Structure 1
């Protein structure tokens, strides 16, 4: 191999081998023994087997046909483990034995298929019909996973709901596997190595993502659980909601442009992380979004008050915003229109 091919081989294979070692880590050495970690380990293992097979076959067409069959068979489990990993995270690792229906039948079918129609005797069948069916099954699971993650995906375009670190990671895994699927399916039009190359590319992007998120207490693929990963119970949450509404409205805390979560928690005589838990897990809002909603409601009231003597800009400062641009941007984000248009629409 010349230097260019050596570099291509190194980059393509390195991601697969790293994925293989990571699968071992999540299966046996991860601190949290969560079912989602086992599904992630299995997903990485299946991807790594498939990629390693592709890399070695590309650079060595005389690769053992048994290894080729194993590599192709691994593809059948990529989709199921992607779906099961995503579902486990969405359901907070509370899953029953139904996950086996996505794995055991697939293993049995591909094993029987391999015994009855081995690759070395039916190369044309495997290279044609079987491979197309494998990629179709993979695509179906990508679609099912997308449906499973629909509420998480909606948060990407939502302006008022805070998306969590773990949810960003889930979406990254989902998009990464989709890119790898696309890489293999366009391989016949470009190069067979595209699928393997895309895996390494995606893998290292995700590693970079982890490095940057780690600075914010994001534990490798396991969200740092500050509150035992539980929502506050309904009765307790309703009581806190009422107390929170009363104190913010009565004392007009939102008018303080420098208001902090710690300040509000102090007014309620609760610890800050408890209030943060309520906002994030029960209301799905950040503290700034939550307070800005009060500010905008007050701004709307003043804009509609015929006796109001404030200018539109002054209303923003009166309601707790520290700049005109922040007020206008937040107002439009929450109401869909600018303050001026809101006022004109109310007084045609």
Structure 2
């Protein structure tokens, strides 16, 4: 490992997708910016995971970008996690990534350049494993280190996954366990490394997306900074349904519950629950359970409106009721 004495997480105010601008503030910022123009199959309207532009009857471009500060101390792992997270938006639309560009901010007079090489190497390895190409990018001198990708992919317009196509009576599946948020918070506070969290964050959502498309599923989203409750609420709102979640069916990573009970809860997670709570019906559900369901994920799994092999069913979509999300 390069420069093991340097703890990258100590150079960032936030961590991973937990540092997103709060959802309610973000929605207010983009309110009134207009509906999607002709040819843009997916734009701002429903807060989906990427923009999709139709080229012809057989192909459409998927465009997205994502970046954040260090979520782990190991620079190579941070590069891999950030790259997998950025690619996830393409998979969440049912697409295949083609080319990516690096986005890098670096305090060049504070942190050594060899760390940058490790971050970029991690990103390159993940992009290569996805069968895509990394073609350069852009860098700036900044007070805090940040890394991510701008990604372009392709998708067939008839095999698109969207967050506004959910139908009542369809089960909900989640392809990765929750808990990377609280484990990353514990890692930042203590330096303890959680290999299961790193493995989850660096696992591509490619297989899950391909399985969803092969099953004829049309509705999905990825679970990242707004947590399962937040992204589930957005899907339900866009689709005009209510998302019912069986809390006992939602899997979590080893150590996540203990980390939460020890207080390693990010501000982003608390903001997620605050945002969702007016639209949430969860009688008798413990606050710790709700916080885990709101845990800000980095490179989380896909929330799929349908069943796919290997993914536990965690609930269902029902006709729209008083609340957008119900937890049982």
- What TM bracket, shorter-length normalisation? under 0.3
Work out which of the two has the higher radius of gyration on C-alpha atoms and give 1 or 2: 1
> In proportion to residue count, which structure has more helix?
1
Using structure 2 for the length normalisation, give the TM-score. Answer: 0.27
Using structure 1 for the length normalisation, give the TM-score. Answer: 0.26
